[in-house]
Amino acid sequence: MDTFAGTTAGASVERAIAAGRDAFASTWSPNRVAVAPGRIELLGNHVDYNGGPVLAAAIDRFIVVAASDESRGSQSLRAVAADIPDGSVVALDADALGDWRNPSPPPNSFDYVRGLIASLVQRPSLDPQLPASIAIAGDVPMGFGVSSSAALCVGLALALAEGFSGQEDVVLVAQEAEHRAGTPCGTMDQSASVAGGAIAFDGATLGVERLDPDLGDLVFALADSGVERTLGSSSYPRRVAESREALALVQGELGPDVANLAALAATQVDDLEARGILSGVLAQRARHVVDETARVHAGQEAMIAGDWPRFGRLMTESGRSSATLYDISHPRVEELVAAALGVEGVLGARMMGGGEGGAALVLLPRETVPDLERTLVSRYYRRHGMADREGLIHVCAFAPGAAVVPLLGRSAIG
């Protein structure tokens, strides 16, 4: 656990083991524990599945999957989640899940477990660690847009299989699990969780470049809008479909060499719109992708140069484009962003993630966090009856990538 020293991962490990002992047996003890972080998307909203670049970072909020080998049932799995109130155990048969896809999205937590098992069954190169019992716990905020589902699927993959050829293999298995569960995601979320730290993700090649930015006294903070969302039930699937429709029209006009919307130049979008090839919402979607791609490149330059005021301005522009051209935000989130931008010292703020709820991402000096909290309580949270809730604002640090960890000092857990 040394990799995650000073984080909340240890507490989640303890809760997972306690849940496993309550559900399975007082002597239950895991022999594999995987820890996977959530992520924040810094710049690059909805461009990953359009072949564009994204700046993202793993954060110090984690999903833990503790697994114990069992002797009964050749391909069986028993699972419990510490954060599901009823504490019920779900029993699954891997042999019956080979072709499984969720018939009724949006998914619940155990649908991701089903999706992960199904994706393992389809990969003979991997060695599923079954039969097993698993216990899941974590503190990645759900509905915030910080990829709790990706962290869960990455953690499940590492805890339940061996034989991965590399990080990309883990990413693809976790992505397939989400697809089977009913979430049509790209691979940026899983890549950030697996790689750790801050990354530049290339949506065209799925390549990952590890970055090492110096934030100085700045922090990224997440502010809860109070509007819950999930990728499977939001407009995310519709935006994916609209992007594919727009790309088909572009390729019909410019040829198949245009591999994705992010490959277009702004002048090409202008021309295609003027000639009626792209019109209405499809033109807006393409314009957001092209403009956002340019913002990511500019943002990476600013990050490397330590020009965080410029980076903050690009964040704010990204949020406005996401809300208008891509129509993926929510009025409450935009109200929250406006309140955050009114705090002196804030460098940038934007909606984040799939959209239609979740959290606002804010870049600000650490010393300004109390001012942000007071302002959001008075200008947003009190107005929406949220002022007494806990966990409304999360100040995040960059975190290590997902790993299977040794359980040193397990006796101290009980």
Q: How far apart are CA 338 and CA 241, in angstroms?
A: 30
* DSSP characters over 347-393: -EEEE-TTSSSSEEEEEEEGGGHHHHHHHHIIIIITTTT-TT-S--E
Q: Looking up tokens 């990799």, which residue turns up?
A: 3
Count CB neighbours of 314 within 10 A: 27
Q: Which of 48, 60, 189, 202 is catalytic?
A: 189
Count CB neighbours of 59 within 10 A: 27
Beta bridge partners of 78: 91, 133
Task: Using alpha carbons, list the distances in angstroms from residue 378 to 60, 156, 383, 394.
Answer: 28, 40, 8, 18
Q: How far apart are CA 303 and CA 314, in angstroms?
A: 11
**257 counts as catalytic:** no
Task: Tell me the one-letter amino acid at 17.
Answer: I
| Residues with catalytic function | 189
